[in-house]
Structure formats: structure tokens, C-alpha cells
């Protein structure tokens, strides 16, 4: 069994930050449900705001399946969901619940504590355990 390749965290960070920026821009322009039917001309085609919104989540689903297909074609299928993938998905879902919650959203303090836990506990203690070879009892 070969060791997994390193993760391109810069690519992941760029894609996630871009999606966050686009969602923030949508909110900053004053988007509401009433705007879904509004259209813009794009290369001679009328595209609605709703079309862009749906494309925003379906393109992510399509890219996910493309990654899975390409991994399969390279015989690099994942035998399990990496722990870091589980963390990223769970944190993303928690953060998604904060959207449209204002400056002090419900659960905001818990989200801040979670971020602190990663910085203050997860990062240093996991690193220490791995580097020192600590053994659980």
C-alpha cells in the first residue's frame, strides 16, 4: 500500500475562500428571494439570478464527482473518508448555519469556541502526540 499524497491545502483554501467571498458579495448586493427571477445578459443569453444560485451548488457537486472519477481512473480510490475530510465537512456545515444570523448569530459563541479549540488544543496537542510518539493507555 502506497502512502497518500500530500494535500494541496492552498487549492482548497483558495476554492473555499472564493465561495465565501461570492456568498458575501451576494449578501452585500442586497440579495433577497424576490431577486431570483432577475436576469442579466451573458454572451447574448439571459441568465437569471436563480440560474447562478443553482449553478453555485451544482458545480461543487459536479467537481466532487469529477474528482472521484479521476481518482478511480488513476487507481487512487480512497479506501475510507480521511479524518481531515470529515473535519472539513462538519465545520463547513456548522458555519453554513451561521449564514443570515447577523453579527452575533445563534451559536456564534460556540463557533468561536470551536475555532479556539482547534487552535489551542487540536493543533498543538495532536502535533505533540505525533512528534513525541505518545502512547494512549
Domain count along the chain: 2
| Measured distance CA(72)–CA(51) in Å, rounded | 31
Per-residue pLDDT reduced to its tens digit, 62-89 = 999 999 999 999 998 888 899 999 999 9
Domain match, 107 and 74 both: no
Strand partners, 39: 48
Reported as a pLDDT band with limits 50, 70 and 90, residue 135 is confident
Domain residue limits at 68: 9-79
* Residue of 36 and 134 predicted with greater confidence: 36
Per-residue CA distances from 58 to 33, 50, 63, 64, 65 (Å): 19, 12, 9, 10, 11
| Long-range Cβ contact pairs of 66-73 (< 8 A, separation 24 or more) | none
Bridge-based pairing state of the strands 45-48 and 39-42: antiparallel
pTM for the complete prediction? 0.85
Give domain status of residue 61, yes or no: yes
| Measured distance CA(70)–CA(74) in Å, rounded | 6
Give domain status of residue 67, yes or no: yes
Per-residue pLDDT reduced to its tens digit, 26-66 = 999 999 999 999 999 999 999 999 999 999 999 999 999 99
Give domain status of residue 1, yes or no: no
pLDDT of residue 5: 80
Domain match, 39 and 94 both: no
Domain match, 85 and 134 both: yes
Which segments of the chain are extended strands (E)?
39-42, 45-48
- Tell me whether residue 95 is exposed, middle or buried, using C-beta atoms within 10 angstroms of its C-beta: 0 to 12, 13 to 18, 19 or more: middle
Domain match, 71 and 128 both: no
Domain match, 41 and 56 both: yes
Amino acid at each position: 500500500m502506497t502512502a497518500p499524497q500530500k494535500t494541496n491545502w492552498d487549492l482548497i483554501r483558495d476554492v473555499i475562500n472564493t465561495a465565501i467571498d461570492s456568498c458575501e458579495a451576494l449578501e452585500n448586493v442586497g440579495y433577497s428571494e424576490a431577486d431570483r427571477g432577475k436576469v442579466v445578459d451573458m454572451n447574448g443569453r439571459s441568465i437569471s439570478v436563480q440560474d447562478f444560485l443553482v449553478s453555485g451548488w451544482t458545480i461543487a457537486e459536479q467537481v466532487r464527482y469529477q474528482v472521484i472519477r479521476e481518482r478511480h481512473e488513476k487507481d487512487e480510490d480512497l479506501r475510507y473518508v480521511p479524518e481531515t475530510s470529515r473535519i472539513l465537512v462538519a465545520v463547513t456545515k456548522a458555519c453554513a448555519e451561521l449564514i443570515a444570523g447577523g453579527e452575533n448569530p445563534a451559536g456564534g459563541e460556540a463557533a468561536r469556541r470551536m475555532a479556539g479549540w482547534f487552535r489551542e488544543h487540536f493543533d498543538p496537542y495532536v502535533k505533540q502526540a505525533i512528534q513525541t510518539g505518545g502512547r494512549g493507555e
